């Protein structure tokens, strides 16, 4: 009797996942505990092990496909076993292996302004797809018909239509033809470039980021304060301890590391900023976990330094290094992306001086870091060239008022200008 | 009706007997239709003409076959009086494909356009514009056909009567507007819901003649309508003829009849048009009493045959549903 | 391949003249009345009013056919319609005119309950060969009660045919066909089109009811329009052609019976559909056309169909507001670009 491999719930808020890669093909033997597939949740990509030993009889959700948590995505059993058709709802047909067909969507008329109705899945004539395989692929009827007729696997396509819908042109491009149904790219039309389409995983991340950013802007009362910190002492500290830490612990300290700790210490003194809006009121958080924005090839992630106020600069540096590396390699775990109470985001390496970072909900504040720049500043009555840094604090006015937020920022600045404070426990 | 009134010369005994026959046919047809309704064999509803036979018969006796009539929801009497076949009418009432309308019209839409019956009508006043338009068509084609437009006291106050009357007047159209004042629209009493006690005076507002006559006297109706038809045919324009009559039954089957009392009905029944006409014809020796009885029995037979024909006829096929929407 | 919007006499094929929409209608009436003595015209100010009707459609007709056949009526819309129905039942072939489509509201009983149903109710044994003519449309500051497009109401009633010509040639050809049709035809003209010019073939010219016309071919977006929206779609097509976007403009010409096959064939080619009319958006005929296309050709659609119609407001008097209430050329162009974005 075949056993179902179900999509595991890998994070508190996870409701569905996208299969990024099957590590074993159908028909192969698998051993319980060995990595079987990679799944992407809204936070990270994760390897999942086979729950049992046997033959991977059937893959129900192919690469690129999305399934809800706890639904079957594959079947493991013994070779030659008859498979009772598994439906995503868990119900079973009679004997005989048949790919079930989802009923066509009942509403035939998409609205003109809203998102298009998802069309029902169908088992394609020309394309052998697993049951329900493209049930969640957003694709126009015309594109689907063309793909089926020409043997294009729609799961390999990323949609360029509204909302990421696969349209005819995407199928045409996969076929290598110039779309007759669209203006040619070379014409005067503001047509589409024939650039490589993003991978499904990247497209998915993009859409998540897009949604999150809009939600943040819509749902919070955010504004940004800036201040400039004199970094002369911080520069010297970094040079001095940096070499020592490098030698002793193979750790390379960055300004981001220093700022993470500075922010964590400042949060200790200003607990009102380490809070969130609960729906009804402000909820202060007891622990300080600082997220740090990490740039990826096609998106960004925010791994979390837990208890950043209790970590030394060296520990922060080491952890951040590790998290960033694994984030870039898509090996980070969901829990490493959760639980932040504050975020630091640094664009200084791109010569940005100041900016207005968007809050990372449900946090009350986010600190944007610009570049360390040597500038002429007033020192007493003279002009000196000194390194300075602009700190941009975006905060949620529902949670914190301007003055307390400014005071917090002032404290961060103070710590950076008196960086030996970073060394205190 | 006095039994020694001079009969119109053109109404030969054959014609007079024919008129009695038609009145009997209408009466018995309606009674039989009510029975079929109560049996559950007929659907929808029906609007019995019982008591008003003199109007339809008297008026239609003035017409040629090429003349036109428009009728009302209470239209069986007009259709039979204009030459309608009781078998085809009964079949239509039972919704059979052999009916006048292939079962698609029912009681309120019986028509035989070729016979000049431009239809019973489910819209009160719906026939007024149609009859006037038919008169216009006759004028344009150079024919001297006349249109009779039957309507009830309830239709006196529909706007279309005003519009059509005005047009008929300015164009002198060959139409006769015959108002069957049976005293009630549904429950609305004519003498309360029309602004004047005698509706015939409204014709004066349009500049054409308006007269009233005894709608329980078939010869009175005949004479009055004949004058109006002659006027129309001569190109002198429209007339309004109000026939004062009474419907013995309710407005439709199932009418609670709480708006009038039985004494009133009984009083009108003493002036029953069929009974009076029969008596007069016998008195004037147009036909014997025995012949009159035989006539009655004959009509009974005809009606029974019509019912039998209707019951034995097939229903229309569902495949015919969309036929005749368009020509 | 687009036909030039206006041909001059020198570029038109031999035997083609350039007429206005009103002149073309006039010609159609005249030719049919000569051909068939049963045809007559009835309406307000069709005979005596200088120039032949408020829009000149009946110009010169009373002089040729007399006051019996070109018949002025009092203001009695219900009776105009009802008499036309009765006359048609009795053998005539009336062309009943309503000065504004808005006034047909007064004539709904004879049009809807009588004309549309008599043939069916009478078991196919009657004919009502009547043409109800009226003009629709906005754009001239006639405000709410003189600017409506009400074709959707008539399309809804089985037994009626509904025609909406957009060019002079179509107007004449369809009017002749409507008069010859044995059914009640609601023939809806547009007030802003009466003075537009176009080629009209000489001699007998008929356009069959129920046949759409592709007014301009294109590969990228199908635009179905009626009346003035055909012309706005053509203008948008010119603009978009310079951007490499090709519109295919389809004019149904008859709304009932609708030539959905021509529209569907176009959508199979382009995959994208815009339907545009001046009638209010809600429950307008665009909803019907779009639903028919989706039913027939769902798998050909690369994007959801779009409708561009008047906003659901009474047509306002102020020029800016009126323009904002109505769909415009730029709206069509923007919608087409959006479909291709």
For residue A346, give the nearest of A373, A370, A365 by alpha carbon.
A370
| Mean pLDDT confidence for C75-102 | 97
Q: Which of residues 167-206 of B touch C (CB under 8 A)?
A: 167, 170
Q: Is C220 a catalytic residue?
A: no
A189: pLDDT strictly greater than 80 = no
The answer, for B252 touching chain C at a CB cutoff of 8 Å, is no
A132: pLDDT strictly greater than 90 = no
A104: pLDDT strictly greater than 80 = no
Residue A60: what pLDDT? 86
Question: Distance from CA of residue B136 to its chain's centroid?
Answer: 22
A12: pLDDT strictly greater than 80 = no
Give the tens place of pLDDT for each residue, C212-266: 999 999 999 999 999 999 999 999 999 999 999 999 999 999 999 999 999 999 9
Residue A328: what pLDDT? 84
A79 class by beta-carbon count within 10 Å (0-12 exposed, 13-18 middle, 19+ buried): exposed
Instruction: Write out the residue limits of the CATH 3.30.559.10 domain(s) in chain A.
Output: 220-423
Residue C5: what pLDDT? 43
- Within 8 A of C290 by CB-CB distance, chain A residues are 109
Residue A248: what pLDDT? 85
Of A111, A142, A162, which is closest to C301 when you measure between CB atoms? Answer: A142
- Tokens encoding A165: 């819908």
Q: Please enumerate residues of A whose Cβ is less than 8 A from a Cβ of C.
A: 108-112, 116, 140-145, 161-162, 167-168, 180-184, 187-191
A387: pLDDT strictly greater than 70 = yes
| Mean pLDDT confidence for A310-337 | 88
- Tokens encoding A91: 């119900």
Residue A126: what pLDDT? 33
Q: Which of residues 252-311 of C touch A (CB under 8 A)?
A: 269-271, 290-291, 294-295, 298-307
Q: Is C190 a catalytic residue?
A: no
Residue A279: what pLDDT? 75
The answer, for B165 touching chain C at a CB cutoff of 8 Å, is no
Class of domain A220-423: alpha beta
Residue C293: what pLDDT? 98
CATH superfamily, with its number, for domain C16-201: Thiamin diphosphate (ThDP)-binding fold, Pyr/PP domains (3.40.50.970)
Of C244, C246, C303, which is closest to A191 when you measure between CB atoms? Answer: C244
DSSP C142: -
Q: Say yes or no: domain B13-307 is CATH 3.40.50.970.
A: yes
Q: What is chain A's mean pLDDT, rounded?
A: 80
The answer, for B96 touching chain C at a CB cutoff of 8 Å, is no
Residue C86: what pLDDT? 98
Residue A329: what pLDDT? 80
Give the tens place of pLDDT for each residue, A211-243: 888 888 888 899 999 999 999 999 999 998 888
Q: How confident is the model at residue A72 (pLDDT cuts 50, 70, 90)?
A: confident
Residue A188: what pLDDT? 42
Q: Where are the domains of chain C?
A: 16-201, 213-340
Q: Which of residues 179-238 of C touch A (CB under 8 A)?
A: 219-220
Residue B13: what pLDDT? 95
C147: pLDDT strictly greater than 80 = yes
d(CA B203, CA B196): 12
Q: Which of A173-182, A275-284, A382-391, C74-83 has the lowest mean pLDDT?
A: A173-182
Q: How confident is the model at residue A158 (pLDDT cuts 50, 70, 90)?
A: confident
Quick one: residue C143, left, alpha or beta (phi over 0 = left, psi -120 to 50 = alpha)? Answer: left
Q: Which of A154-158, B146-150, C5-9, C30-34 has the lowest mean pLDDT?
A: C5-9
- For residues B58 and B82, the answer to whether their CB atoms sit within 8 Å is no
The domain defined by A126-198 folds into Dihydrolipoamide Transferase (4.10.320)
Does the fold of domain C213-340 match that of domain C16-201? yes
> Mind spelling out the 3-state secondary structure of chain B?
CCCCCCCCCCCCHHHHHHHHHHHHHHHHHHHHHHHHHHHCCCCCCCCCCCCCHHHHHHHHCCCCCCCEEECCCCCHHHHHHCCCCHHHHHHHHCCCCCCCCCCCCCHHHCCEHHHCECCCCCCCCHHHHHHHHHHHHHHHHCCCCCEEEEEEHHHHHCHHHHHHHHHHHHHCCCEEEEEEECCECCCCEHHHHCCCCCHHHHHHHHCCCEEEEECCCHHHHHHHHHHHHHHHHCCCCCEEEEEECCCCCCCCCCCCCCCCCHHHHHHHHCCCHHHHHHHHHHHCCCCCHHHHHHHHHHHHHHHHHHHHHHHHCCCCCHHHCCCCCCC
**Catalytic residue (one of C23, C32, C44, C77):** C77
The C-alpha of C315 sits at a distance from chain A's nearest C-alpha, in angstroms, of: 23
Give the tens place of pLDDT for each residue, A245-281: 888 888 889 999 999 999 999 999 999 999 988 777 8
Residue B127: what pLDDT? 97
d(CA A259, CA A256): 5
Using CA coordinates, name the residue in chain C closest to B320: C123
A94: pLDDT strictly greater than 90 = no
| Mean pLDDT confidence for C268-275 | 97
A127: pLDDT strictly greater than 60 = no
Q: How confident is the model at residue A82 (pLDDT cuts 50, 70, 90)?
A: low
Give the tens place of pLDDT for each residue, C41-66: 999 999 988 888 889 999 999 999 99
- For residues B23 and B53, the answer to whether their CB atoms sit within 8 Å is yes
By three-state DSSP, how is residue A177 classified?
Answer: coil
A41: pLDDT strictly greater than 70 = yes
Residue B319: what pLDDT? 92
Q: Do C86 and B160 touch (CB under 8 A)?
A: no
d(CA C326, CA C341): 24
Best residue in C66, C122, C159 for a mutation probing chain B (most B CBs within 10 Å): C122
**Right CATH for C213-340 from 3.10.580.10, 1.10.150.20, 1.20.1250.20, 3.40.50.920:** 3.40.50.920
A400: pLDDT strictly greater than 80 = yes
Percent residues over pLDDT 90 in chain C: 92
Give the tens place of pLDDT for each residue, A14-23: 678 888 889 8
Instruction: Write out the residue limits of the CATH 4.10.320.10 domain(s) in chain A.
Output: 126-198
Q: How confident is the model at residue A198 (pLDDT cuts 50, 70, 90)?
A: low
Q: Where are the domains of chain B?
A: 13-307
Q: Which of A72-81, C106-115, C129-138 has the lowest mean pLDDT?
A: A72-81
d(CA A256, CA B190): 97
The C-alpha of C78 sits at a distance from chain A's nearest C-alpha, in angstroms, of: 38
| Mean pLDDT confidence for C141-158 | 96
**Right CATH for A1-125 from 3.40.50.80, 2.40.50.100, 3.30.950.10, 2.102.10.10:** 2.40.50.100
Q: What is the pTM of this model?
A: 0.65
Q: Do C87 and B324 touch (CB under 8 A)?
A: no
| Mean pLDDT confidence for A148-176 | 89
Using CA coordinates, name the residue in chain C closest to A162: C341
Neighbouring chains of C at 3+ CB pairs under 8 Å are A, B
Using CA coordinates, name the residue in chain B closest to C37: B141
Q: How confident is the model at residue A195 (pLDDT cuts 50, 70, 90)?
A: low
- Within 8 A of B140 by CB-CB distance, chain C residues are 38, 40, 68-69, 87, 92
Q: Which of A16-20, A71-75, A114-118, B99-103 has the lowest mean pLDDT?
A: A114-118
The answer, for C68 touching chain A at a CB cutoff of 8 Å, is no
Q: What is the count of residue pairs from A and C with beta carbons less than 8 Å apart?
A: 69
B238 class by beta-carbon count within 10 Å (0-12 exposed, 13-18 middle, 19+ buried): buried
pLDDT, tens digit only, all 327 positions of chain B: 556 678 899 999 999 999 999 999 999 999 999 999 888 889 888 899 999 999 999 999 999 999 999 999 999 999 999 999 999 999 999 999 999 999 999 999 999 999 999 999 999 999 999 999 999 999 999 999 999 999 999 999 999 999 999 999 999 999 999 999 999 988 888 888 899 999 999 999 999 999 999 999 999 999 999 999 999 999 999 999 999 999 999 998 888 888 899 999 999 999 999 999 999 999 999 999 999 999 999 999 999 999 999 999 999 999 999 999 999
d(CA A217, CA C53): 61
Residue C7: what pLDDT? 41
Please give the residue that has the higher pLDDT: either A334 or B67.
Answer: B67
């Amino acid at each position: 009797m075949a056993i179902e491999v179900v999509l595991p719930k890998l994070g508190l808020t996870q409701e569905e996942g996208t299969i990024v890669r099957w590590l074993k093909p159908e028909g192969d033997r698998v051993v319980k505990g060995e990595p079987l597939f990679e799944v992407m949740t809204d936070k990270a990509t994760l390897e999942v092990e086979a729950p049992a030993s046997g033959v991977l009889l059937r893959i129900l959700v192919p690469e690129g496909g999305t399934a809800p948590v706890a639904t079957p995505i594959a079947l493991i059993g013994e070779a030659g076993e008859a498979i009772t058709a598994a439906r995503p709802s868990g119900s079973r047909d009679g004997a005989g292996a048949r790919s079930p067909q989802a009923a066509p969507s009942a509403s035939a008329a998409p609205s003109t302004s809203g998102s298009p109705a998802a069309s029902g899945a169908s088992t394609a004539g020309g394309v052998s797809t697993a049951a329900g395989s493209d049930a969640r692929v957003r694709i126009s009827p015309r594109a689907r018909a063309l793909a089926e007729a020409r043997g294009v696997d729609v799961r390999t396509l990323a949609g360029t239509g509204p909302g990421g819908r696969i349209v005819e042109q995407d199928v045409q491009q996969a076929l290598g033809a110039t779309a007759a149904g669209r203006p040619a790219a070379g014409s005067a039309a503001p047509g589409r470039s024939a650039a490589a389409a993003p991978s499904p995983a990247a497209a998915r991340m993009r859409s998540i980021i897009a949604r999150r950013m809009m939600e943040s802007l819509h749902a919070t009362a955010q504004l940004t304060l800036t201040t400039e910190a004199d970094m002369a002492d911080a520069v010297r500290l970094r040079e001095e301890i940096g070499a020592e830490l490098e030698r002793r612990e193979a750790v390379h300290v960055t300004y981001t590391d220093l700022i993470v700790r500075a922010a964590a210490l400042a949060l200790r003194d200003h607990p009102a900023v380490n809070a969130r809006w609960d729906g009804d009121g402000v909820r202060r958080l007891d622990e300080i976990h600082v997220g740090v924005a990490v740039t990826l090839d096609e998106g960004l992630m925010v791994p979390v330094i837990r208890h950043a106020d209790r970590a030394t600069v060296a520990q922060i540096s080491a952890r951040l290094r590790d998290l960033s590396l694994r984030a870039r390699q898509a090996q980070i775990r969901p829990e490493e992306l959760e639980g932040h109470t504050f975020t630091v985001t640094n664009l200084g390496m791109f010569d940005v001086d100041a900016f207005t970072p968007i809050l990372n909900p449900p946090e009350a504040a986010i600190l944007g870091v610009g570049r360390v720049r040597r500038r002429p500043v007033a020192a007493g009555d003279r002009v000196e060239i000194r390194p300075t840094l602009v700190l941009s604090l975006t905060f949620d006015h529902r949670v914190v008022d301007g003055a307390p937020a400014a005071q917090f920022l002032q404290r961060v600045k103070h710590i950076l200008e008196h960086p030996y404070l970073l060394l205190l426990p | 009706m006095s039994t020694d009134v001079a009969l119109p010369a053109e109404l030969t005994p054959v014609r007079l007997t024919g008129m009695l026959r038609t009145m009997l046919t209408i009466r018995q047809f309606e009674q039989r239709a009510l029975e079929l309704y109560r049996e559950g064999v007929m659907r929808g509803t029906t609007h019995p003409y019982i008591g008003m036979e003199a109007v339809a018969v008297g008026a239609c006796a003035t017409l040629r076959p090429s003349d036109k009539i428009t009728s009302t929801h209470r239209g069986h009497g007009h259709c039979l009086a204009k030459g309608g076949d009781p078998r085809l009418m009964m079949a239509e009432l039972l919704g059979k494909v052999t009916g006048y309308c292939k079962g698609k019209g029912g009681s309120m839409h019986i028509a035989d356009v070729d016979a000049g019956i431009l239809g019973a009508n489910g819209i009160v006043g719906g026939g007024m514009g149609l009859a006037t338009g038919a008169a216009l068509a006759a004028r344009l084609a150079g024919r001297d056909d006349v249109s009779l437009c039957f309507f009830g006291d309830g239709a006196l106050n529909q706007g279309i009567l005003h519009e059509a009357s005005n047009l008929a007047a300015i164009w002198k159209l060959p139409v006769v507007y015959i108002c069957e004042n049976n005293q009630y629209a549904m429950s609305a009493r004519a003498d309360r819901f029309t602004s004047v006690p005698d509706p015939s005076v409204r014709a004066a507002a349009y500049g054409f003649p308006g007269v009233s006559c005894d709608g329980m006297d078939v010869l009175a109706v005949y004479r009055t309508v004949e004058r109006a038809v002659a006027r129309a045919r001569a190109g002198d324009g429209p007339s309004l003829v109000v026939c004062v009559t009474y419907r013995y039954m309710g407005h439709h089957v199932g009418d609670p009849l709480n708006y009038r009392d039985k004494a009133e009905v009984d009083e009108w029944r003493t002036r029953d048009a069929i009974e009076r006409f029969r008596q007069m014809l016998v008195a004037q020796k147009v036909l014997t009493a025995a012949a009159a009885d035989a006539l009655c029995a004959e009509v009974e037979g005809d009606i029974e045959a019509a019912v039998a024909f209707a019951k034995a006829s097939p229903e229309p096929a569902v495949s015919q549903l969309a036929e005749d929407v368009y020509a | 391949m687009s036909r030039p919007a206006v041909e001059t006499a020198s570029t038109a094929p031999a035997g083609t003249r350039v007429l206005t929409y009103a002149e073309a209608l006039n010609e159609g009436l005249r030719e049919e009345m000569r051909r068939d003595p049963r045809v007559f015209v009835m309406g307000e100010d069709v005979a005596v009013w200088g120039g032949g009707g408020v829009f000149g459609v009946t110009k010169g007709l009373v002089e040729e056919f007399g006051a019996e056949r070109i018949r002025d009526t009092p203001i009695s819309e219900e009776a105009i319609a009802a008499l036309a129905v009765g006359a048609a039942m009795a053998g005539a072939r009336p062309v009943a005119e309503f000065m504004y489509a808005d006034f047909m509201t007064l004539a709904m009983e004879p049009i809807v309950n009588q004309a549309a149903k008599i043939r069916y109710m009478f078991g196919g044994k009657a004919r009502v060969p009547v043409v109800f003519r009226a003009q629709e449309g906005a754009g001239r500051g006639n405000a709410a009660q003189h600017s409506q497009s009400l074709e959707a109401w008539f399309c809804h009633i089985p037994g009626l045919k509904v025609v909406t010509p957009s060019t002079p040639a179509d107007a004449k050809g369809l009017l002749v066909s409507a008069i010859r049709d044995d059914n009640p035809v609601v023939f809806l003209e547009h007030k802003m089109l009466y003075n537009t010019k176009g080629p009209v073939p000489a001699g007998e010219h008929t356009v069959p009811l129920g046949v759409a016309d592709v007014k301009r071919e294109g590969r990228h977006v199908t635009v179905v329009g009626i009346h003035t929206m055909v012309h706005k779609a053509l203008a948008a097509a010119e603009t978009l052609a310079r951007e490499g976007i090709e519109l295919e403009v389809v004019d149904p010409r008859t709304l009932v019976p609708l030539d959905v096959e021509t529209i569907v064939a176009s959508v199979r080619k382009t995959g994208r559909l815009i339907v545009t009319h001046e009638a209010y958006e809600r429950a307008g005929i665009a909803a019907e056309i779009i639903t028919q296309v989706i039913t027939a050709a769902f798998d050909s659609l690369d994007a959801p169909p779009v409708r561009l119609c008047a906003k659901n407001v009474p047509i306002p008097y102020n020029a800016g507001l009126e323009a904002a209430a109505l769909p415009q050329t730029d709206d069509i162009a923007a919608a087409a670009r959006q479909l291709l974005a």
